[in-house]
Structure 1
């Protein structure tokens, strides 16, 4: 597949799939059909909408190894984390634990929830912050060591966003459960990029996006909830479905556009037709080669990565992109210099360049980025 198969601009090297994903044209056409159906006869469309969303949910649950009754569609992980945090009782003095690699919106959600309850947010610093050199064992040990008797909830990534590292999710879930801590997993990048078995992970709450690596239209995510918490789930917006309980209470909000959810199984079918395992292996290998191409051409430090992931990170020169505005400015400069889209992430001392690989990418995309970066940093 190439850029045209995703309706992407073929004149641009799209190396930032991890931020927004890309929708195959065949999936977008199916979503357009659902929208047209809703516009032709809204009453008829909504009369069967619940059944059709449930069917789509079952297909997604099977793909993720989840119990369909414990899975709800949400618009994205930001919503999923908000629902999870609102569903866990907190009292003044309680603590929410996050790590310094957490996605910015997740940190905001944790601080807002804590502020409303009179609780506090603790941030654990994972080892290897300056060079990305840490192991799964190091990460798990640091996280578990930060738990206190007042820690009620821990939020951690399946795959870190800015630094593109795989955290030991099962180990953390088991260790935190033994300490009596509720687990919320930010799995924004997991569905599609990784083979996921939610039954084996066993988190209290696990939320992931389907519009990043599983070829669903935007916005489309899921929230998986353990049996003990399902009756206590609090949706962000209360609607007539509140009395039906989870998952309907989270999913249905009157005239919300549900078509991305209905089309999500078609994205999974594209992945299956390509060969899910082969696609993951191909993308991960290309991301590694791309990282090396850029590092060798520019002298940027290539951060350690994980073999399963289709994203890789390079450290920018000292003092570059250390703030959000500076990172955005560099991202725009890269685009105007060489027509490449890449993820520039603000990070202390020196920002990070995150590159993604998807089926529409080729090595020439990374070579083009490398040439542009040489021009910028010269």
Structure 2
């Protein structure tokens, strides 16, 4: 089998970013990269704020945030009146968890593909309320139908108070059949929170088409917004129950303003986020999605070949638009959190490549992303040098 051909580069895309050219930035999925135009827009807003802080915070800021929110919600295919801007997906998940009024014996159900910080939030809320966290094991090779059936049989109506599923999993780069999972849970009367950390900008599915009770996605990854920009979308029947993590002066305004307003936060990232969408649209949303997914597939294959992983053993992402791919590492490598962190740091220091390394179910994985600023030779260089580095462990 031949290696898939990399996509044609998008002319000028690399110049839109201020990334260090001596480093291969192959891990866009962790912290994103903010285009220069967005950086400058946010800096102008910060200059405005610092020129007259009192005026900035007290004259029209709530309306400006609402305007930005409406713009972002339209891009996501979400109801702006049911959308609140939050700092990130973990913060949005915490808002939902603490708003449910969990009680002893209630259950929060997740899969073993969930994000670690969300799992910690679940554990803390369950410890505080007496609720019980439970995790379903989903094989990496499970089909969509098998994923749905695992969740269907794992639900406990009357006891399961919340199902949390990932639209695109972080540790395993797997696209889940989210809309089907929401439908299954609805049949059994179980509300669903969708962790869509990687969806905005990468995946074409709209929030409305998924139909979850709660959906939270980061715009600072694949939608080019400043970091600290995420959207929490809440179905109508839940909005009055949603409470902020910290009460502030807009508490009586109801959702979403009571969640968004936290007094002296730096809101300039939210206000500049529409410039990120403008950048994405200027490049062509579909064009960017196709380019990034094809480049990630190329990187997975060349690095997998270098590590001796047969093409049929490379994990499949579950959809054509996924711009993150996994490469299994040799057995015994990076199987724990500490070992994964150590290997990631060694790859960064010795190979000048930023990647994600995670241990999942006793196996270490390298996660590679594709973005418009990447080029095929960056994956080629990693493929040539990585086997030697791993042999030195």
TM-score by length of 1: 0.97
Q: Report the Cα distance in structure 1 between the residues aligned to 2:390 and 2:120, rounded to whole angstroms.
A: 33
Question: Counterpart of 1:81 in 2: which secondary structure?
Answer: helix
Q: Report the Cα distance in structure 2 between the residues aligned to 1:321 and 1:3, rounded to whole angstroms.
A: 31
Name the residue aligned to 2:167.
Answer: 158
Question: Counterpart of 1:203 in 2: which secondary structure?
Answer: coil
Alignment of 1:8-23 (within 5 A): 8-23=19-34
Name the residue aligned to 1:370.
Answer: 383
Q: Deviations over 1:223-270 (max 9, x none)?
A: 000000001101111101111111110111111000110011100011
Q: Report the Cα distance in structure 2 between the residues aligned to 1:297 and 1:321, rounded to whole angstroms.
A: 18
For the 8 Å contact 1:4–1:10, the answer to whether it is kept is no
Alignment of 1:123-272 (within 5 A): 123-127=135-139, 132-149=140-157, 150-272=159-281
Aligned length, in residue pairs: 374
Q: Of 28, 41, 45, which aligns to 2:56?
A: 45
Q: Report the Cα distance in structure 1 between the residues aligned to 2:128 and 2:244, rounded to whole angstroms.
A: 16
Q: Report the Cα distance in structure 2 between the residues aligned to 1:199 and 1:338, rounded to whole angstroms.
A: 43
Question: Counterpart of 1:346 in 2: which secondary structure?
Answer: strand
Name the residue aligned to 2:338.
Answer: 325
Q: Which consecutive residues of structure 1, in runs of 5 or more, have no partner in the other structure?
A: none
Shift of 1:108: 0.8
Q: Report the Cα distance in structure 2 between the residues aligned to 1:373 and 1:4, rounded to whole angstroms.
A: 27
Q: Provide the aligned C-alpha RMSD in A.
A: 1.1
Q: Report the Cα distance in structure 1 between the residues aligned to 2:261 and 2:47, rounded to whole angstroms.
A: 20
Q: Report the Cα distance in structure 2 between the residues aligned to 1:17 and 1:147, rounded to whole angstroms.
A: 34
Q: Deviations over 1:160-196 (max 9, x none)?
A: 0010010111111111011111111100000000113
Write out the 4+ residue segments of structure 1 that deviate beyond 6 Å after TM superposition.
Answer: none
Name the residue aligned to 1:79.
Answer: 91
Question: Counterpart of 1:240 in 2: which secondary structure?
Answer: coil
For the 8 Å contact 1:155–1:184, the answer to whether it is kept is yes
For the 8 Å contact 1:321–1:347, the answer to whether it is kept is no
Name the residue aligned to 1:337.
Answer: 350
Question: Counterpart of 1:155 in 2: which secondary structure?
Answer: strand
Q: Which consecutive residues of structure 2, in runs of 5 or more, have no partner in the other structure?
A: 1-11
Name the residue aligned to 2:105.
Answer: 93
TM-score by length of 2: 0.93
Q: Report the Cα distance in structure 2 between the residues aligned to 1:265 and 1:365, rounded to whole angstroms.
A: 30
Q: Deviations over 1:270-320 (max 9, x none)?
A: 110100011101110111011001111221452122321000001111111
Q: Deviations over 1:87-141 (max 9, x none)?
A: 11322111110100100011111111111111101100002xxxx3221111111
Shift of 1:45: 1.4
Q: Of 347, 360, 377, which aligns to 2:373?
A: 360
Q: Deviations over 1:39-70 (max 9, x none)?
A: 00112212121111111011101101111100
Q: Of 103, 108, 113, which aligns to 2:125?
A: 113
Question: Counterpart of 1:73 in 2: which secondary structure?
Answer: strand
Q: Report the Cα distance in structure 2 between the residues aligned to 1:377 and 1:121, rounded to whole angstroms.
A: 36
For the 8 Å contact 1:3–1:10, the answer to whether it is kept is no
Question: Counterpart of 1:175 in 2: which secondary structure?
Answer: helix
